[in-house]
A and B are shown apart, each in its own frame.
Chain A
């Protein structure tokens, strides 16, 4: 095993795979056989007569895998991204292939979105029902919501 700054190189021998002609399916089979999490990247994948080479990503790590056909060996360069990159990637992140625990995170984000939307609706309802003067609130709401929509249209048409 070789070690660089945030990368390590390791190998796994004698992988037993159903060799597919479809590069993505083969990459997924290699991933499963190595018990790794993540998505193989089709735009960073190449095959020749000797090997399939591909990159794979998950929020915390990046892999570059070379699988040689004649000896069924997978060489993996594993790069860790660090805590803050993972923290940042959790926004909008759902289920990661082979990462059964991430199902919980996906469910949690769904709950949070529903709670967020309900909070907006109930917040508006409570504000509308209140007795206080609403002119300044309405003006701010109109400017912010209207301004955002106008700016989106402007960016779409002329940005």
Chain B
């Protein structure tokens, strides 16, 4: 589902678009707009804010529901897009969910996720050690290991220097 996207399409099953006028956006700071958005549009989850002279963009991400709010200072307006994801996309959003922000629910998720990642690294190192210690004929293993390492670094350098 994560890799083979074609048979498991990731789609938004519902997209709500709202455009509203809000007086005095120029005098409201980004943190206040985040708090206002969560109450007004019932948004939850982690958020990221991007700000420049003309606009403030706030992206909310919650597995299953994501939202983007674009506040334009010049026109005192906000454009809101709230997207409800299908099952495949929701699972993908869970897979991509990381970072220690968004409250203790997300903190615990990120912590367990990091523990899992650490265990994956430990599995690979101990797996390599076990293989090396228990196998007498290692040629096939070395070939597979060399091929994957060469492919990984070739891809990196291809992307960097082309």
Contacts and interface: CB of A to CB of B under 8 A. Distances in A.
Chain A complexes with chain B: yes
A159 B156 contact: no
25 contacts: A37-B159, A59-B159, A60-B159, A61-B160, A83-B156, A86-B156, A86-B159, A87-B156, A90-B152, A90-B155, A94-B3, A96-B159, A99-B158, A101-B155, A102-B158, A102-B159, A109-B3, A110-B4, A155-B62, A155-B106, A155-B109, A156-B63, A156-B90, A159-B45, A159-B102
B159 A156 contact: no
Contact of B2 (A37, A92, A152): A92
* 4 shortest interchain CB distances as A-B pairs: A60-B159, A60-B160, A159-B105, A105-B155
Interface of A: 37, 58-61, 80, 83, 86-87, 90, 92, 94, 96, 99, 101-102, 104-105, 108-110, 113, 148, 151-152, 154-156, 158-159
B94 interface: yes
Given A155-B63, A159-B45, 14 more contacts: A58-B159, A60-B156, A86-B156, A87-B156, A92-B3, A94-B3, A101-B158, A105-B151, A109-B3, A113-B3, A113-B4, A155-B94, A159-B102, A159-B106
Contacts of A61: 159-160
B154 interface: yes
Contacts of B90: 156
A158 B64 CA distance: 12
Interface string B96-112: 01000011011011001
A8 to B, nearest CB: 13
Interface string B107-139: 011001000000000000000000000000000
Interface of B: 2-4, 44-45, 62-64, 90, 94, 97, 102-103, 105-106, 108-109, 112, 148, 151-152, 154-156, 158-160, 162
A79 to B, nearest CB: 12
A154 B160 CA distance: 41
B156 to A, nearest CB: 5
A152 B63 contact: yes
Nearest to B91: A152
A113 B2 contact: yes
Contacts of B162: 37, 99
A134 B108 CA distance: 28
Nearest to A151: B109
B148 A108 contact: yes
A55 to B, nearest CB: 13
